Structure 1
Amino acid sequence: MADFGPYPPNMAPQSALIVRQTSGADHSVVPYTAEALSRIRQGPANPFKDEITSLKRKNVPTGYAEEMFLSEHSFRSQHRSIERGPNKIYLGGQAAKDEAARIRSKRQKKGEATVAEGDGAYVGPWAKYKQDEYEDLVEGEELGSDEEYEVEEEETIESGTLVPAAPQALERRKEAELEGSEMTAFEGSEQYDYQGRTYMHVPQDLNIDLWKEPGSVKNFIPKKQVHTWKGHTKQVTALRFFPSSGHLLLSASTDTTIKIWDSFHKRELLRTYSGHNKALSDVSFNPSGTQFLSASYDRKMKLWDTETGQCINRFETGAIPHVVRFNPSVEHSNEFLAGMSDKKIVQFDIRTREKVQEYDHHLAAVNTITFVDENRRFMTTSDDKSLRAWDYNIPVPIKYIAEPYMYPMTRASAHPSGKYVAYQSSDNNIFVYGATDKFRQNRKKVFKGHNNAGYSIDVSCSPDGQFVASGDSGGYVCFWDWKTCKMWHKFQASDSAVTCLEWHPQENSKVATAGLDGAIKYWD
């Protein structure tokens, strides 16, 4: 009820105008203003709210607006509708159908359900729309994906038009690639000793016999750090001791270089091998140690002479090699296997540079290759969460293991007994599989207690088969007892993830570790 007193409503002074509203026991009197006119006149008043501020309108001139969550799918759908324009949104009949077909033609193919990765892989409802324009990469920036765009031909700008590079220029570039841009430098203090021998000579002036059979002495758990090798500027991706003697240590890094270090005497950097233009993924010695293979994300595999640093051969298939392994047998010592990103395992002959065999049954990138059964067979794992066993030179798997609970197995280590292979699984476990005819999982042997999810972390069995060691994403190094599967020891080795670990083949308590910080640490 409004009481205007003696003044008419259109002439009353502002100070005399009031509005009286009764709601329950509330007889509040407020100024007769524009806010009061817009007040909702129903329900009881809120006693905890200021009367004046409650009369104000909400946050926009036309009403009240609230924040809401809009999914990416809904936003893209509405965005595409707006991009079509008002004259296209409400098209009817054949015009609307044509417009819908044009939109669908820009979408990626859904693929086949039987393909897990690569060309034609199943994407289903997650198929993307093709972009008309792509951002130009800044000079020196690398592509984020493994599968980079292949540059088929160079182009030059002449009079405002793009012209293909001359055939002569392409020929010169191909010749330069064949010749290679490999470089090496000896960085030790002395290249030859007093008898003219290089670092390839196994030292005999030590208090340890480096010629004995690896694993012939009992191993112990290391307790303290005895040395640090610093030379790599980025993450170390692989560590390999020289076969049998272990007097040299080979390391590969994402800084595109390979280095070889002295394990005894001065423990210095001996030689640097440079020839790749992208990060290294793996290295592998041949059985005698005179040569080694390197695999890189530049899609190339190179064979190096360990002593001189000369690049002997180059191999490539067009895909990225993830793992390379020489055949340890004497009969096939001139052949090696490479697990590729395109799901294939290829077998090369280092003498002819020819592809001898191809094993193509995995559904995703290959992670590990392990020779078993006196090198007559080998076992492989892949990102397709499976394990396969093969007879050497026969491209049909003899065993296929893929269980619903399995995770990708990223690293492997053969047990010295030859009966088992330990696999680093991506669910923070180490599983053991038989390496004989049945290739079954040994469910009694599971090693737990470390974290490795998200990283490819090495697992390594001690030369006498008594211990299993692994790195950790938190910077630890963990040791388990092989028989009881209980964790024996665990110590902090780095502030970042430890991804590489290798037991010394001769010394009974020496272990080399490396990881994301680029430093190689030696433990005893």
Structure 2
Amino acid sequence: RKMAHLLPPSNSTRNGPAEPSTKFHGREEFDYKGNSWMAPPSGLGTLKDDELEMDHHKCYVPKKCVHRFTGHNKGVHRIRLFPRTGHLLLSAGLDGKCKVWSVEQKQVMRTYIGHSAGVRDAQFNYDGSTFVSASFDRYLRLWKTETGQVLQTFTNHAVPYVVKFYPHDSNFFVVGCSNNKIVTYDATTAEITQEYNHHLAPVNAIVFVEDHGTKMITTSDDKKVLVWEWDIGVPVKYISDPTMQSMPVLTLHPSRQFFVGQSLDNTICVFQAQGRFSQQRKKKFSGHIVSGYACDIAFSPDGQFLVSGDGNGKLNVWDWKRTKMLQKFK
């Protein structure tokens, strides 16, 4: 059970944030052409406005594990792919460090050290030039990905559980906290510009959808799903049902028509991402054990396959259309 929100608010923030540092592990930060180490390898297809540029990019079910990245001293809480190209990985570790890895070179490129407790979540902005790390030490940090410089430090004396950038302006990001609130920060001034306070328990997941303007969908330990208009502190819709369980992870389908939630009754639930936001009760993915764990969900870029971890350390792949499990990896 989460204990973070029971701690007194000033417990760890009294001493101030940890001293930030960074270490570069690659061969050189710029190559002979002057390209940064972050530049994608040549010939890589990119997602333009989340539409695949390359026609031949058909996705297949993976057959075997091709590489294991090692380097964190404790568990890894989050992995994020670099926006649009996916040639870099950002990992948030419980050792208080964030690392960026090169998928092509299969090595760690830069380590970002700036938290005195484990990092709970990390998120790239929409061009990958900066990222935010949210830690159990109650601080959030905005980092420059290329140089490892800390641009800003944020705190509201609650533990940040999830962080998401606003899709239309990377100067704003929202944080779901252990004090049941969701807050919007201005990245340039470090001020809170809006509070959303309707959940009755710590907030676990946030996803943005487009439906007559940008809407934000949040879930919490109170087993509710709330839909909010951007920058309006009152929810426009409650999704609550006696049979629903808490959903610690939400992911948007690449078609942007649906979003899925990892429900703690060992299923993945599907909801419409527009209109009535109703649950698609006939479309359920099951066969994995996740109760008590917050296992992440991901889609293949063409939306054909759904992937999730589980509590036994297995990786599960389903067919999105038929909801049939295709593969399990240990």
TM-score range, shorter chain: over 0.9
Alignment partners' CA distance in 2, 1:448 and 1:211 = 30
Q: What residue is the counterpart of 2:210 in the other structure?
A: 373
Alignment partners' CA distance in 1, 2:196 and 2:5 = 21
What is the SS of the residue equivalent to 2:248?
strand
Larger displacement relative to structure 2 (423-432 or 460-469): 460-469
Deviations 1:393-444 (A, max 9, x none): 1111111011111111011110111111000001100000111020100011
**Do structure 1's residue 407 and structure 2's residue 266 form an aligned pair?**
no
CA contact (8 A) 2:10 2:157 kept: no
**Do structure 1's residue 311 and structure 2's residue 170 form an aligned pair?**
no
Q: What residue is the counterpart of 1:320 in the other structure?
A: 159
Q: What residue is the counterpart of 2:71 in the other structure?
A: 231
1:228 to partner: Cα distance: 1.2
Q: What residue is the counterpart of 1:433 in the other structure?
A: 271
**Do structure 1's residue 484 and structure 2's residue 312 form an aligned pair?**
no
What is the SS of the residue equivalent to 1:409?
coil
**Do structure 1's residue 251 and structure 2's residue 91 form an aligned pair?**
yes
CA contact (8 A) 2:4 2:178 kept: no
Deviations 1:123-148 (A, max 9, x none): xxxxxxxxxxxxxxxxxxxxx65533
Larger radius of gyration: 1
Q: What residue is the counterpart of 2:178 in the other structure?
A: 341
Alignment partners' CA distance in 2, 1:345 and 1:255 = 25
CA contact (8 A) 2:315 2:328 kept: yes
Alignment partners' CA distance in 2, 1:285 and 1:190 = 23
What TM-score results when the alignment is normalised by the length of structure 2? Answer: 0.93
1:219 to partner: Cα distance: 1.2
Q: What residue is the counterpart of 2:296 in the other structure?
A: 458
**Do structure 1's residue 288 and structure 2's residue 288 form an aligned pair?**
no
Q: What residue is the counterpart of 1:268 in the other structure?
A: 107
1:151 to partner: Cα distance: 5.5
Task: Give me the identity figure in percent.
Answer: 43
1:475 to partner: Cα distance: 1.6
Deviations 1:58-81 (A, max 9, x none): xxxxxxxxxxxxxxxxxxxxxxxx
What is the SS of the residue equivalent to 1:272?
strand
Q: What residue is the counterpart of 1:147 in the other structure?
A: 6
What's the RMSD between the two structures over aligned residues?
2.0
Q: What residue is the counterpart of 1:90 in the other structure?
A: none
Alignment partners' CA distance in 1, 2:10 and 2:230 = 35
Residue type of the alignment partner of 1:373: E
Alignment partners' CA distance in 2, 1:424 and 1:446 = 10
Alignment partners' CA distance in 2, 1:151 and 1:358 = 20
- Give 1 or 2: higher helix fraction: 1
CA contact (8 A) 2:9 2:157 kept: no
Change (3 A) 1:423 1:211: closer
Matches within 5 A, 1:64-79: none
Q: What residue is the counterpart of 1:198 in the other structure?
A: 36
Residue number among 39, 45, 54 corresponding to 1:209 in the alignment:
45
**Do structure 1's residue 447 and structure 2's residue 306 form an aligned pair?**
no
1:209 to partner: Cα distance: 2.7
1:202 to partner: Cα distance: 1.8
1:203 to partner: Cα distance: 1.7
Alignment partners' CA distance in 2, 1:147 and 1:260 = 32
Alignment partners' CA distance in 2, 1:401 and 1:211 = 32
Alignment partners' CA distance in 1, 2:6 and 2:22 = 29
1:350 to partner: Cα distance: 0.5
Alignment partners' CA distance in 2, 1:300 and 1:406 = 32
CA contact (8 A) 1:409 1:423 kept: yes
CA contact (8 A) 1:202 1:210 kept: no
Residue type of the alignment partner of 1:275: G
Residue number among 363, 378, 382 corresponding to 2:200 in the alignment:
363
1:200 to partner: Cα distance: 1.8
CA contact (8 A) 1:251 1:259 kept: yes
Q: What residue is the counterpart of 2:58 in the other structure?
A: 218
Q: What residue is the counterpart of 2:189 in the other structure?
A: 352
Matched length: 324
Alignment partners' CA distance in 1, 2:133 and 2:4 = 21
Alignment partners' CA distance in 2, 1:472 and 1:152 = 33
Change (3 A) 1:214 1:439: closer
1:292 to partner: Cα distance: 0.3
Residue type of the alignment partner of 2:19: S
Alignment partners' CA distance in 2, 1:257 and 1:237 = 11
Q: Any gaps of 5 or more consecutive residues in structure 2? A: none
Runs of 4+ in 1 over 4 A off after TM superposition: 150-153, 211-215
Residue number among 1, 5, 19 corresponding to 1:181 in the alignment:
19
- Give 1 or 2: higher strand fraction: 2
1:212 to partner: Cα distance: 5.7
CA contact (8 A) 1:412 1:460 kept: no
1:150 to partner: Cα distance: 5.1
Residue number among 228, 233, 237 corresponding to 1:390 in the alignment:
228
